[in-house]
Amino acid sequence: MNKQQLEQEIAQLKMDYIGLQGDIEKLESTGNSKMIENAERRLAGMEDRLADLNKQLATTTE
């Protein structure tokens, strides 16, 4: 993946992350704990992916 592709994927993932945070806030108001747990796991996966992409970006010279 080149630098531009990495930056685009990071930007998209950040937007998805923010959207999912908003969804969690809505779920918390309804008290649906199972769906909240699933969404929080997805957030954790996104955080791991962001960390990986940022490492790749830091080492990319293109």
**Segment (H or E) for 21:** helix 3-30
pLDDT tens-digit profile of 29-58?
888 889 999 999 999 999 999 999 999 999
Structural domains present in the chain: 3-59 (1.20.58)
Confidence band for 62, pLDDT divided at 50, 70 and 90: low
Task: Pick 25 or 46 by higher pLDDT.
Answer: 46
Confirm if 3 and 46 have CB atoms less than 8 A apart: no
Separation of alpha carbons 5 and 58, rounded Å: 13
Report the pLDDT value the prediction gives residue 1, as an integer from 0 to 100: 85
Residue range 14-29: mean pLDDT, rounded:
93
Report the pLDDT value the prediction gives residue 32, as an integer from 0 to 100: 83
Separation of alpha carbons 38 and 22, rounded Å: 14
Report the pLDDT value the prediction gives residue 60, as an integer from 0 to 100: 87
